[in-house]
Each structure stands twice: as C-alpha cells, then as structure tokens.
Structure 1
Amino acid sequence: MGWMFSKPIWLPFRLLGIPVSLDLSFLLVLPLFAFLIGSQLPAYLQLLQVNAPSELLQSPTSYLLGLLAAVGLFLSVLIHELGHALTARAYGVQTREITLWLLGGVAQLEQIPRTRGTEAVIAIAGPLVSILLAGLFGLLRGAVPTDVAVGQFLLGYLAYINLSLALFNLLPALPLDGGRILRSLLALYKPYLEATRTAVTLSKILAFALGLLGLFMGNLFLILIALFVFMAASGEAEQTLLNRTLEGLKVRDLMTREVSTVPPNLSVAELLDKMMQERHVGYPVVEAGRLLGLISLEDLQGASPQTRVLERMRSPLHLDEQTEALAALHRMAQEGFSRVLVTDPSGNLVGILSKTDLLRALQLRAAQMNLSDHPGPRPQ
C-alpha cells in the first residue's frame, strides 16, 4: 500500500534478502479477517458463482476456509510489496524491510528515489504484480473441476482480491501507489517539493471522499483507510520537506565542534565537581583525542568518590563526520538519542550533534528555500 520509514516491530525472517516484519496489529487482524470471511462465506460463494455443499457453510469449516483465504490475502500483499522492493533494488535503492500490518503491507525503502520517473516505475510494479497474480489464480481456477468447491472458492477469492488490491492501490492518493505515480509524473515538469504538495492536497481530498463514503455505507474499514491516507499524506509532506531541507548536508556541516570532555583517569568526585561547575550531566571520555566512551550522572550511581571514570563509562552512540545528516536523524530517532558524538575516520572526537543542531539547520534551510521561491528586489 505504500512506503514508509519506521522502526520494525518483529523481524521473523528474510525473503530474497529483504527482512519481513509482522506488526502486532497484523497478528490481531489475521484472525479477525478469518472470522469476517468465514461469516460472509455465502455472499462470497454467490459472488464467485461457486456451488457449495451445505456442510461447507457450517462452522468450523467456514472459518477454516476464512483463515486460508486471509492467509492467502496477506501472502498476496507480501508478494505485491516484493514487487516494489525488487524493482527498487534494480534502481540501486535498498529496502529496509517489508512490514505486514493492520491495513496491508508497506515496503520501507532506505530513500525515496529522486531520478525522474523512477518513483513511478517502482510504484507501478506492485499493482502489476497483483494483476499478474489475479490472472494466475484465475487460470488455475479454470483448471479446477467446478464440483471442487473449496478450490473454486479459494482460487476465485484470491483472483478477486488481487485485482481489487491492484485497483485500490492505483487510486491517486499518497502513500498509495497511484499517489506516488501521480507525484512522479508531476515532478517531470515542476519541482519535486511542489509536486509533493499538489499530490498531498489531492490525497486529502480523496481521503475525505473515502471517509464520507465509508460513513454512508457504514463501512468501518473504509473509514480507517480514509484516516490512514489523510494522516499518511501529511506525513509524506513532512518527510519530503525534511529530505529536501537536509539534502546534501553532512554531520560535519551541522555539528558543534566545541565539546567539553573528561579523561578516563578522572575520579568520580572530580567529575561531580566538574558537572556542578559546568551544569552538564554527561561527558565524552577522551584520551589523546581518541573517543573511548561516554559517562553520565546515571552511570555514577553506587560508585565511590575514588572510582575512576574508566570503570564506569559506557559505549556511546557515535557517527562518522561524513555521515549524511538525514541518515543521522533517522539513526537518532531509531536509537532514541537526542545527541550523538561525532568522530573522524581515525576515531578521534571532533564534535557533537544534537537535535537542536538539526532543528536549527531545518529552520535556516527552510528560510533559504522560501526566499528562492519568492525572489524580491535586492538592495543596491
């Protein structure tokens, strides 16, 4: 259904070298889907024109068929997302993971491809895979005798659901595939950020329409999808602005170079005095310029005044100064750190990067971009 950037819930296996994650909501929604399909089995059989014996409609058989159909649905979603991931790999874009969750699946790409038209090619790959699956299941169903009701139902359902999955994902709304195709086409003749804003506006209008349709039909699932599209479109705009603003910047461009440090042989008593004087509660531990660790107030609990910093320090989160600023921001968010230490290729401490530094850079670059978008007369 789209691509996003977030921390995985659970990584049980890899498929074609790509980690596959099952979100907690998937574990809850799978039995729910099985129940819904099983309870609506007569309607599905009528839709698919399957003549089934009466015992097939009785529980627990109907719910077992619902479970098989639900598993087939999510496997189809997984193959759909693999279509995105493998196409992205062909363009040199790696996939962090594929996540199956409440509303389907997402392929979490390491970055949004910026080459003209590439995003559209990657986006269309998923619906094309679903259409191929629909055709395959349709052909297989044709080879199954009409009196084999179970095979007729399962293959017919998977053909129907894959076609529905393809058509739904082609709706022109971010983060659905159709929205990404739309943005990629708009970006052929206007700036990428402006193309994103246009696509986001259309996405919110479509989400509002889907929400109204869901309310009119009393369809809770459609209302949930509308809410997801609306919120995800807003997040897409923020993510694109973030990518554009930090584009081309490295950690060395944003870090603070003046860092107060402590030597490894400093005693706890001396460190506490330093903390009181400088009003800091954490310091990098450095010897001859080389970063050894990090010491903070919480690391001193239970230590005697004579204890050396070397005995209580811990490994710090640190980045190379050549790291892309956007990658640093993602790493800090994933690890839950508000600041990271910065080292050169030799491992020497050269600075510190905080979220404040990143926020300041965002504000300054955003102001520069606004000026470039609205040029005015310059003073003589």
Structure 2
Amino acid sequence: MFSRPIRLPFRLLGIPVSLDLSFLIVLPLFAFLIGSQLPVYLQLLQISAPPELLQGPTPYLLGLLAALGLFLSVLIHELGHALTARAYGVQTREITLWLLGGVAQLEQIPRARGAEAVIAIAGPIVSVLLSGFFTVLRGLLPSSAAEGQFLLGYLGIINLSLALFNLVPALPLDGGRILRSLLALYQPYLVATRTAVATSKVLAFGLGLLGLLVGNLFMLLIAFFVFMAASAEAEQAVLNRTLEGLRVRDLMTREVSVVSPSLSVAELLEKMMLERHVGYPVVEEGRLLGLISLEDLQGASPQTRVQERMRPPLQLDEYTEALTALQRMAEQGFSRLLITDAEGNLVGILSKTDLLRALQLRAAQMSLSNQSSPPLGRA
C-alpha cells in the first residue's frame, strides 16, 4: 500500500475498515474502464440493451456502480477471512481496501496446524457464494431490465474471477497461504514459507513475462506486487521465528533516565546537553505521565514547565510479546516504547536498537544450534 490509510468512521462486525489513497484513485479509473467497455460486457452477458443505455453519462454511471459493487465484494471476501480467523481466536486489526483489492490484517498467524489454510480458503468460498447469489438474482429480473441485468451479471462473473485468481498458489494470495499451510503439516513452518515464497516468485516472474509479451500493464503490476509481497512474507516469517517466545521484559532497558513534570524547559535542555538524550519519560512518584522530546520544546519559553509540553506516550505492558512491540513501533512511527507494569508504573524502555540486538543474538543462537545438530539419518 502506498499511503497511510484513511480510517472510515464505522466498523463492520467490530472490525475497522480503511481506504488506502490508491483506492480513491483507482475507483474512478475502474468506473471509466467499465463504462467505456460496456458494449463488450453487454455482448458477453448476452443482454439486448436499448440505444440510450450506451449514450451520455449512463455507461459511466453503470461503470461506477459496478466498480463500487466490485470493491464491496472484495470487502465481503475479506470479512470471510476475518470471521474465520475470529473462530480460531485471532482478531483482525483492520481491513484495508486499496489499488489491487483488499487485505485483512490479522494480529497473528494462527498456530493450530492447518488453520491458515482454513482461514485462507474462506475468502474464495465467500466469493463463489456471492457469484451464485448475483447470478440467481439476475435470473429473477426480467430481460427488459438491462441495467440490473448488466450489474448483477458483471458482479456474478467478477466474484467468480476473484475466487479463481485468489486460489493461485502464490503469496500473499489465498492460494499461496493454503500452499504454505499444507506444506507446514509435514515440515517446519519456516521451511514451508521458503518453499511457498520460491513458488510465488517463479509464478510472479512468469506472470510478468506474459504481461510484457501481451503488453498488459495491470498484469505487470500484479506480478511486481506478488514478487515483492512474497519477499516480505519470507522476512516476516524469519522475524516471527527469531522473536518467538520473547517478551518485552526480556529485551527492555530497565535503567531509564526520567524527568519531573515540574521541570522547566531551561533545566530540561541542560539535562539533554549533559546526558546526550533528546527524549525523556515524564514520571511522578513512579507513575508514567507522558513523554517529552526536543521537538515538543519548539516555541516554548525557558520558564515553561514540562507538564505543559509533554504528550501521551506509546506504552506497552511488560508481558507484551516482542513481535507485537515491533509492529506497534512500525505502525505508530515510534523508535522507543515505554514499558509499564500492571499498576502503570514505568519499569523500562524498549528501543529499536534493543530489538535489533535481540534479533542478531537469536539469529546467531539459531545458527549455532543448527550447526551442532547432527544431519538427518546419522547418529
């Protein structure tokens, strides 16, 4: 995705929905393309349309309705994933609609064997059911209702196409997740991911080559997306494996330099110069109140108190999983997290440096462990 998503002011079944900026760009483009090719769709669907249907703004209005129906279908497809994941105890952080459709961002990959395949197949099943639903509705309309015949016929075909496309065995498509989950039944998850990623890259290369040969820009875009997303899946799998079992309290720095809310800006700047820090937790009697950094001091007078310029901190409980902490940092754009206990008292600070150091150490441990293990088939 290309930008920070725009969060919509409602939830679907408790799940936040966001729009990427690319969605707002591609929606009118899809409406134009569908409208300009309306005669082709009418011929494909065997619809006899009155001449006025192809004149003026009518084709583009139908194109807009069809494009909205397409993205609504994608949203329902993603809801299928989210609700199935919920059945396994996995929550969905949000559903985002963007240039190439939608994505349901699960908080974690379910650990039950085969669960990822079940969650992945739910989306195509929903799309097939939608295709059948629209096809049945179309059959109930009189043939003279050309507009309705077109919209329902288009949505029937596009949902079936959506299901088939998503079953291609390439990450991050549903077919790639099904492939990885099935491979993980017989081999370690990391190995299964690498096999699925290799398959995905081969398919992406083939799709890109085909796109070049036929001059299809959209096909090239999908191939590029699959290749890059597959690489990201491999990195995420290694990250998950490396940080597995680690919690924030295992990695955080416990000795934290703090400031009082009554400290003046002049005194804080002197402390920053002395300790070479540009940000401090604001603490009073052990309790975390906020965070103050050099950026927050812009325009403040020397006599201004810290409590007047501090901002809410990004904080986590000390028993939070390390991977969750890393995700929160990436989402919020923070380089440090303040760690508190159950009573809200500051107990440490976690920086990206702490996480990177942990990744390096765990990777080295895993490498030594693999080297010391005897090869398969030998005592």
Deviation at 1:220, TM superposition (A): 1.2
Higher mean alpha-carbon deviation, 290-299 vs 38-47, is at: 290-299
- Which range moves more in the overlay, 33-42 or 287-296? 287-296
Q: Please point out which of 197, 201, 204 is paired with 1:204.
A: 201
For structure 1, which runs of at least 5 residues remain unmatched after alignment? none
How do residues 34-49 of structure 1 correspond to structure 2 at under 5 angstroms? Answer: 34-49=31-46
Matched, 1:106 2:103: yes
Distance in 2 (CA, whole Å) between partners of 1:28 and 1:308 is: 46
Cα distance change on mapping 1:321 and 1:305 into 2, 3 Å: same
Aligned position for 2:140: 143
SS at match of 2:350: strand
Task: Report what 1:95 is aligned to.
Answer: 92
> 1:271 Cα shift?
3.3
Alignment partner of 2:217 out of 216, 220, 242? 220
* 2:207 equivalent to 1:181: no
Structure 1 residue 339 corresponds to structure 2 residue 326: no
1:151-300 equivalences in 2 (<5 Å): 151-300=148-297
Distance 1:182 1:275, change over 3 A: same
Q: How does 1:315-330 map to 2 (within 5 A)?
A: 315-330=312-327
Tell me, which stretches of 5 or more residues in structure 2 are unaligned? 375-379
What does 1:14-53 correspond to in 2, within 5 Å?
14-53=11-50
Partner of 1:8: 5
Between stretches 316-325 and 186-195, larger displacement belongs to 316-325
The C-alpha deviation readout for 1:355-376, integer Å capped at 9, x for no partner, is 0000111111122222333335
**Within 1, Cα distance between the matches of 2:59 and 2:234?**
44
CA contact (8 A) 2:7 2:16 kept: no
Distance 1:267 1:371, change over 3 A: same
Shift in alpha-carbon separation, 1:44–1:295, aligned structure 2, 3 A? closer
Structure showing greater relative contact order (alpha-carbon pairs closer than 8 Å, 6 or more residues apart): 1
The amino acid of 1:320's aligned partner reads: D
State the 1:69 CA deviation: 1.4
Query: Greater shift after overlay, 6-15 or 300-309?
Result: 300-309
Q: Specify the SS of the correspondent of 1:322.
A: coil
Report the AA paired with residue 368 of structure 2.
L
- Helix, strand or coil at the partner of 2:74: helix
Name which of structure 1's ranges 145-154 and 6-15 shifts more when overlaid on structure 2: 6-15
**Root-mean-square deviation over aligned CA pairs:** 2.1
Task: Identify if the C-alpha distance between structure 1 residues 268 and 35 changes in structure 2 by more than 3 Å, giving closer, same or farther.
Answer: closer
Deviation for aligned residue 1:310: 4.3
For the residue of structure 2 that corresponds to 1:350, the secondary structure is: strand
CA shift digits 1:274-332 (9 cap, x unpaired): 32222222222333333333333344445555554445444322222111111111112
* CA shift for structure 1 position 31: 1.2
Query: Is 2:351 aligned against 1:354?
Result: yes
Deviation at 1:148, TM superposition (A): 2.8
Per the alignment, residue 123 of structure 1 pairs with 120
Report the count of equivalent residues.
Answer: 373
2:128 maps to amino acid? I
Q: Distance in 2 between matches of 1:301 and 1:100?
A: 37
Q: Name the CA distance, whole Å, in 1 between partners of 2:76 and 2:40.
A: 27
The residue identity in structure 2 corresponding to 1:90 is: A
Alignment of 1:57-72 (within 5 A): 57-72=54-69
Whether the 8 Å CA contact 1:251–1:328 is kept in 2: the answer is: yes
Task: Give the distance between the partners of 1:89 and 1:302, measured in 2 at CA.
Answer: 48
Farther-moved stretch of structure 1 (210-219 vs 47-56): 47-56
Task: Confirm or deny: 8 A CA contact 1:12 1:22 kept in the other structure.
Answer: no
1:187 aligned partner, one-letter code: A
Which position in structure 2 is the counterpart of 1:373? 370
- Quick one: distance in 2 between partners of 1:241 and 1:299? 37
Q: Under a length normalisation based on structure 2, what TM-score does the superposition of the two structures give?
A: 0.92
- The answer to whether residue 56 in structure 2 is matched with residue 75 in structure 1 is no
**1: distance between equivalents of 2:297 and 2:151?**
62
Q: 1:301-312 maps to which residues of 2 (within 5 A)? A: 301-305=298-302, 307-312=304-309
Q: Secondary structure at the match of 2:7?
A: coil
Q: Deviations over 1:248-291 (max 9, x none)?
A: 11111000112222334444444333322222222223333333
Q: Write the letter of the residue equivalent to 1:370.
A: S
Partners of 2:127 and 2:162 within 8 A in 1: yes
Distance 2:302 2:151 in 1: 71
| Distance in 2 separating the partners of 1:303 and 1:155 | 61
Q: Percent identity?
A: 83
